[in-house]
Chains A and B, each alone.
Chain A
Amino acid sequence: MRFELVKRSQHSKLFSALSPFLALALTVICGALIFAALGKSPVDGLYYYFVEPLLEVWSLHELAIKAAPLILIAVGLSVCFLSNNWNIGAEGQFIAGAIAGSILPVMFPDFQNAFVLPLMLLMGVLGGAAYGAIPALLKTRFGTNEILTSLMLVYVAQNFLDWLTRGPWRDPAGNNFPLTRRFHADAVLPEVLPSSGSAHWGIVFALVAAVVVWFMISRTIKGFEVRVLGESPRAGRFAGFSARRMVFFAFLVSGGLAGLAGISEVAGAIGYLQPVISPGYGFTAIIVAFLGRLNPLGIVAAGLVLGLTYLGGEAAQISMGLSDKVARVFQGMLLFFVLGCDTLIHYRIRLVHDALTAKRS
């Protein structure tokens, strides 16, 4: 017995809505098996991963802090992936935005007034967008594969940040630790609800970005252009859309949002620059984008789910002595299941009994 794929005449609406949930359910089942294999109670494991972080107000704030960069980056990536531009270097654009945005508080610490923060955010966006423009330029000018160039630039950005924080930007009063000086009060991204917890304005930026990009994609001619060029470049050309301009548009939007995520993380959650500022947000955001089915509103939900895996990883490590690496396995599995379940949208799966076909022929 084997199975074969039969193409549906139309996309299945049912599975479009169902596939992310199916993928989540499969991930949870596999997660339980992993817990069992590691000799831990699956029930406890799943509880610490997916329930406990939701029970306390402070940890909901933590969730918002973790989800904010994921949502911001993934919303930008959705524009890229919908238009068939494979930007996988968001991690580098995140770092570039963080560095560009930190120029003011680190190099000009005496410049303190109400304009500092808006300028920092703007420079963060510009820094991320400029870094994202490099693979776009190479793709349009020379036809260079953007997957490889955008990824290579991640390593370059990581090395550059490492050099900055250990070299020219190191705090002279910092006991030789590889940290920049702490941002002054005007350069810190404030908390949204200071009375209840530590979540900073990054989550608000993320929600606004999601709504704006959702509107752009689904309600404007630009969004139509994104989708047409992504699904059929030939049809896009006939409609007079420029594929070259779209490459730049996609990379600038996603680079800019990744840069905003970077400076928000540094100015909001960390408060200074250090050699490593991201636990792989730029890569996890790829999973978020696909789990959200490349729909910015879906991405908000997906960002919260993936943010939960970071928190759950920490919780399970403290409570059960479980390695926090398990969280990354969860994230990787999730993307596999999402992609697998998406097949059901386009194809019906038919079981074929070999004995029957053999008899017939």
Chain B
Amino acid sequence: MLIAESILLTIATAATPLLLAAIGELVVERSGVLNLGVEGMMVMGAVCGFAAAALTGSPWIGMLAAILAGVLFSLLFGFLTLTIATNQVATGLSLTLLGLGLSSMIGEAFVGSPGVKLPTLANGIAEIPLVGQPVAGLLDLLAGIPLIGRVLFAQDPIFYISIALVIGVTWFLFHTRAGLVLRSVGDNHASAHALGTNVIGIRYLAVMFGGACAGLAGGHLSLVYTPQWVENMTAGRGWIALALVVFASWRPLRLLAGAYLFGAVSIGQLHAQALGLGIPSQLLSSLPYLATVLVLVLISRNRRLTMMNTPASLGQPFVPDR
């Protein structure tokens, strides 16, 4: 039972950054903007989060810095694609290229320096005066439940945020007026504009949300998953997150399944490498990427599913007529 429990835990840890980056990008794409810069925002979040935590000693400040870095980077993308209407695909690519370059420059001073790990939820809560200790004690108790106890009650705070974000985004998109407006902007920006909706403003907010999520995902990588800085440590996870949005056909709850499936694949290949089954480790390392291709093919074969769900204005620049 102990092995199954720890495998579940590692899968959740591997899936969390994918889920975070994907849920942000899902909102961005629902507003009609295709931001291919997820990888760049994520890696900037990772390096800024790590640097801030190493300099201040506080992983919490690190997380805030990661989010801030993601938002600032997304604003760069927003200014180009929304304000001066550049090509979204090319601009997203350049965001990724710039992010990878800038992060390796910033991170050079931090290669090999000891990381600061974000505490688990219980340890974090225990630091709060008065109520902290009893609540933390309760969580520790619940974590004793076999198999699912630690998965549900003894993880890092970001895990809970990622789950809450998925539920929150589902509620926002499909049960609030603001969510309806956001989807209308993504499906037909000309009509939304004619109805008096501020298309550009809404898209800016969506892009910033996407940046915050990607930054948080990066912070999770460098402060929770592997608390250290390694150049290009996102290793294509931003791109996998983009594929997950297609896989989920732009529905937040399906992202959960996708992210955990990929978490399982990437953890599974690590375990297979450790067992030394005689399969080349490079083939196993390729599995998450091959799985992404396979999943994309399976999903896009079903033209109706993708056609029905793809935001109709996705990727098209909008310049209001006056």
Contacts and interface: CB of A to CB of B under 8 A. Distances in A.
Interface of A: 4-5, 7, 86, 88, 138, 142-145, 147-149, 151-153, 155-156, 159-160, 162-163, 166-167, 283, 286-287, 290, 323, 325-333, 335-336, 339-340, 342-343, 346-347, 349
A326 B86 contact: no
Contact of B94 (A148, A151, A339, A343): A339
B292 A331 contact: no
Closest 6 CB pairs of A and B: A332-B98, A328-B101, A335-B94, A163-B282, A325-B105, A159-B282
B290 A148 contact: no
8 contacts: A88-B93, A143-B303, A151-B239, A159-B282, A336-B95, A340-B86, A347-B85, A349-B84
Contacts of A142: 297, 300-301
B306 A143 contact: yes
A152 B85 contact: no
A5 B322 CA distance: 10
Contacts of B280: 163, 167
Size class of the contact patch on chain B: 35 or more
A287 B97 contact: yes
Interface of B: 36, 76, 80, 84-87, 89-91, 93-95, 97-102, 104-105, 108, 235-236, 239, 242-243, 246, 280, 282-283, 285-286, 289-290, 292-293, 296-297, 300-301, 303, 306, 319-320, 322
Given A86-B89, A148-B243, A148-B292, A328 B104 contact: yes
A5 B94 contact: no
B101 A329 contact: yes
Nearest to A148: B243
A339 B86 contact: yes
A305 to B, nearest CB: 15
Contacts of B104: 325, 328
Given A163-B282, A323-B108, A335 B296 contact: no
B319 A5 contact: yes
A313 B130 CA distance: 55
A332 B103 CA distance: 11
Nearest to B321: A7
B77 to A, nearest CB: 9
Contacts, number: 132
Contacts of B297: 138, 142, 144, 149
Contact of A147 (B89, B91, B99, B100): B89
Contacts of B98: 329, 332-333, 335-336
Given A156-B286, A160-B282, A145 B292 contact: no
Contacts of A144: 293, 296-297, 300
A163 B283 contact: yes
B102 A332 contact: yes
Contact of B99 (A160, A290, A332): A332
A147 B280 CA distance: 27
B160 to A, nearest CB: 29
A166 B101 CA distance: 28
Contacts of B99: 332
A339 B280 CA distance: 42
Given A323-B105, A329-B102, A332-B100, A147 B300 contact: no
B25 to A, nearest CB: 12
Contacts of B108: 323, 325
